[in-house]
Amino acid sequence: MLSVTIDEENYIAILEPDGPLSKSDFESATRIIDPYIEDNGQLNGLIIHTESFPGWKSFAALSSHLKFVREHHKKVTHVALSTDSVVGNFAEAIASHFVNAEIKLFSYQELEQAKDWVISRS
């Protein structure tokens, strides 16, 4: 499951996975985030907050994740990874080559610092 919360005051989407990600998780995230961007004209940043990376349920879920990134990477300028997973280090280094967003890694406990970072870049 993927919980999506919109911090409407700061125009930030916070994504919190709880278990392996499914195709429907990314479809649901799109149904929440896209109308918000359409209505508000912006999304200052996206925060992925997870203690450890849960992986994907299937190849279709991985494909949906890549599609989500492809469709949103020009709409989101800042991505904070708030995680203790080693995947965070890999994602920060590799993703910067494929997306326009500035990416920064924080520990799982540093969610507020991640929010502050996104806000300071807006």
pLDDT in tens, the chain (122 residues): 899 999 999 999 999 999 898 999 989 999 999 999 999 988 899 898 999 887 778 878 767 776 777 776 677 888 888 988 776 555 554 555 446 778 888 999 999 999 999 999 87
Query: 2-121: what CATH class?
Result: alpha beta
pLDDT number for residue 66: 67
How many Å is the maximal CA-CA distance in the chain? Answer: 37
pLDDT for residue 99: 61
Q: Give the domain ranges of the chain.
A: 2-121
Q: Which residues contact 111 (CB under 8 A, 6 or more apart)?
A: 14, 47, 49, 82
* Burial class (CB within 10 angstroms; exposed 0-12, middle 13-18, buried 19+) of 70: exposed
pLDDT for res 76: 81
**Residue 97: its pLDDT value, please?**
41
